[in-house]
A and B are shown apart, each in its own frame.
Chain A
Amino acid sequence: MTTTEGITEAIRTHILAEYLPGTPREELETSYDLLDNGVVTSLDLLALISWVEQRFQVPIDEVEISPDHFRSVDAMSEFVKRTTGK
């Protein structure tokens, strides 16, 4: 799970399972805006951040976090890569 594709797919799997049950995998484009379109709400954001922290060992305390980092699967993937140096 160190490739970009691996990270992206793991995030996509999690988003589909947690927030979009029943949605076909290919339907969720990695650039889809999860925040504006109400998939991930402000209340969900905390849980999502903590999932990313644990799943990818992101040093959450050391990095600046903005909701924009969780706007899409791509954005999250980018955030994970940047903060973990993967």
Chain B
Amino acid sequence: MTGLTEDVLEIAAARPRDPALRWRGADISYAELADLVRRAHQDLAGHPGEGPVAVVAPKSPEVVAFVLACVLARRAVLLPSPDLGRTALAELVHRAGCEHIVTATAAATASGLELRETGAPARPSGDVRFLLTTSGSTGAPKIVPLTAGSTDRFMRWAVGMFGIGPGVHVLNYAPLNFDLCLLDVWATLRAGGRVALVEAEHAVDPGHLVGLLEDDPHVVQAVPMFFRVVAEAVRSSGRRFPGVRHVVLTGDHTPRPLRAELPAVFPGARFHNVYGCTETNDSFVHSFDGHEADTHEVLPLGRPLPGVRTRIMTDEGELTGAGTGELWVATPFQTRGYLHEDGARFTTEPDGTTYFRSGDLVSRGADGELRLVGRTDFQVKVRGVRVSIEDVERVISEHPQVAEVGVVAVPDPQAGRRLHAVVRRRSDRLTGLGLRQHCAQRLVRAAIPAVIQVVDGPLPHTSTGKVDRKLIRKELLAGGS
């Protein structure tokens, strides 16, 4: 491999008529994509620099081409979250040292995008290809630089693992600022496959998503919310998507009742539960066939990807047998560290291996299998008992009448913290008191939410499709309940 964009242009030369993108019901060929890349490259040539380029426009073929043009020009691409406010975005762009910013606000350029100076002091791109972000605890996003080498290694794994190549169709559900796009957009284009781009405004539109699946993708990677929307949409029609070969579950725990529905919807698929984070990219995969979809209450993390090293750390040191601790991972795909942050989450061992302290709690069973327990920071003490909020959510979500759930901890003068669960039910057969009994059978008493609020409307979601606990908590605290 020479470079990401060079590989794409090579495919355009060798197989110009092969489809590269699926966009709004039509194919865009590699030749057309190459044309868009060249135009974007021209625009970029008018704004020379070595600092990163911030790309904040919504997903489109033009934006995909612009990112490829930046990569070709050896300029790092900052992909911020589209949810970022103007001030936060300006601050982020400045912190990342982006000399230029690309937006979709004007169409006066060859690429159809507006490219302008930011005025920020440039920070040389070096060998960094992408600058992704993760939410920081204080609210300001942390910048995660990923080098050409680390992303190349990841793409090579993804292409081999999922058999991506010419004639293979991949569905891209995630917004471009997600690391998931390294697999479903960038690795696919590099390997000569076709990417169907899902637009953010249709992300929860059941009819639209079903339509995209009828376009016959072979590989579908998405967060559980996508599969929930699809499963609900086809439940009555009984529609099936036998062409899908790989279903990649990522980003969150997929509740067992939802998993149980998937083999019928994707009867030809092998399923993969992938664990990873922006800092390290995918680190574990657990692959299984349809008949095993709901055999586990919680899916195991599975095997580490090739080259991935892991440790489980407790207060007493490394865990060697069964037990629970924080997962540390070192992957061939990882960042060297956040930009402008102390390295507290990264630990370099005497042998030179740098581990990322994931903040994820995992347990190792007697069988040696690892399972995600929750976040170290989602542990709260209720009446002196340590409770994992994610455990509580998982238990509630396993009730067959529960569509989705968010559990938050709110301060309580007596208990320290008390748990408040907001639950969307599938039918009015579910009551809060019934759900309490379900919890009582599966959780210690302190972990049973003090308040179980049953609603019929959808819960708020973050841009990643997870239930927005922060917003739920904010509303609860504002409401004084």
Interface residues, chain A, with chain B CB atoms under 8 Å away: 20-23, 27-29, 32-33, 36-39, 41-43
Query: How long is the Cα–Cα vector from A39 to B452 in the complex, in angstroms?
Result: 10
Contact B440 A42 (CB under 8 A): no
B residues 423-450 in Cβ contact with A at 8 Å = 431-433, 436-437, 439-440, 445-446, 448-450
Partner pick for B414 among A33, A38, A43, CB 8 A cutoff:
A43
Do A43 and B415 contact each other (CB < 8 Å), given the known contacts A23-B432, A28-B433, A32-B433? Answer: yes
Q: Identify the closest chain B residue to A39 (Cβ).
A: B436
Using known A-B contacts A22-B453, A36-B440, determine if residue A41 contacts B415 with beta carbons closer than 8 Å: yes
Query: Nearest CB to that of B433 among chain A residues?
Result: A27
Please give, as numbers and ranges, the residues of chain B lying within 8 Å of A42 by CB-CB distance. Answer: 383
Chain B positions within 8 Å of A43 at CB level: 383, 414-415
**Chain B contact patch, size range:** 10 to 19
Which residue among B383, B415, B436, B450 has the maximum number of chain A CB atoms within 10 Å of its CB?
B436
Output the least CB separation between B130 and chain A (Å): 46
A sample of 9 more A-B contacts (CB under 8 A), given A28-B433, A33-B440, A38-B448, is A21-B451, A23-B431, A23-B433, A37-B436, A39-B433, A41-B383, A41-B415, A41-B446, A42-B383
> Within the complex, what minimum Cβ distance (angstroms) separates A26 from chain B?
10
Residues from chain A with Cβ under 8 Å of B414 in the complex: 43
B440 touches A37 (CB 8 A): yes
A41 with B436: CB separation less than 8 A:
no
Q: Can you list the 7 inter-chain pairs with the closest CB atoms, starting with the nearest?
A: A38-B448, A37-B436, A37-B440, A43-B414, A27-B431, A36-B440, A38-B445
Contact B432 A38 (CB under 8 A): no
Judging by beta carbons under 8 Å apart, are A37 and B383 in contact? no
Q: Which residue of B lies closest to A43 (CB)?
A: B414
- Using a CB–CB cutoff of 8 Å, the interface residues on chain B facing chain A are 383, 414-415, 431-433, 436-437, 439-440, 445-446, 448-451, 453, 481
Closest-CB distance, A56 to chain B (whole angstroms)? 24
* Residues of A close to B383: CB separation below 8 A: 41-43
* Closest chain B residue, CB of each to CB of A35: B445
**Given the known A-B contacts A37-B448, A43-B414, are A27 and B432 also in contact in the complex, defined by CB atoms under 8 Å?**
yes
Quick check: B432 and A20 within 8 Å, CB to CB? yes
Taken together as a complex, chains A and B put the C-alpha atoms of A27 and B437 apart, in Å, by 13
In the complex, what residues of B have CB within 8 A of residue A36's CB? 440, 445
Contacts of B453 in A (CB 8 A): 22
Which residues of the partner chain A approach B439 to less than 8 Å between Cβ atoms?
Answer: 37-38
Which residue, of A27, A28, A37, A43, has the highest number of chain B Cβ atoms within 10 A? A37
Contacts of A41 in B (CB 8 A): 383, 415, 445-446, 450
19 examples of A-B residue contacts, CB within 8 angstroms? A20-B432, A21-B451, A22-B432, A22-B453, A23-B432, A27-B431, A27-B433, A28-B433, A32-B433, A33-B440, A37-B439, A37-B440, A38-B436, A38-B448, A38-B449, A39-B433, A41-B445, A42-B383, A43-B383
Which residues on the A side are within 8 Å of B445 (C-beta)? 36, 38, 41
Q: Within 8 Å CB of A38, what residues of B? A: 436, 439-440, 445, 448-450
In the complex, which residues of chain B have a beta carbon less than 8 angstroms from the beta carbon of A32?
A: 433
A21 to chain B: which residues have CB within 8 Å? 451, 481
Per the bound structure, the CA–CA distance linking A22 and B422 in Å amounts to 13
Chain B proximity of A72: nearest CB distance (Å) = 12
Q: Quote the shortest CB–CB distance from A27 to chain B (angstroms).
A: 5
The CA-CA distance from A22 to B440 in the complex, in Å, is 20
A20 and B450 alpha carbons, distance in the complex (Å):
9
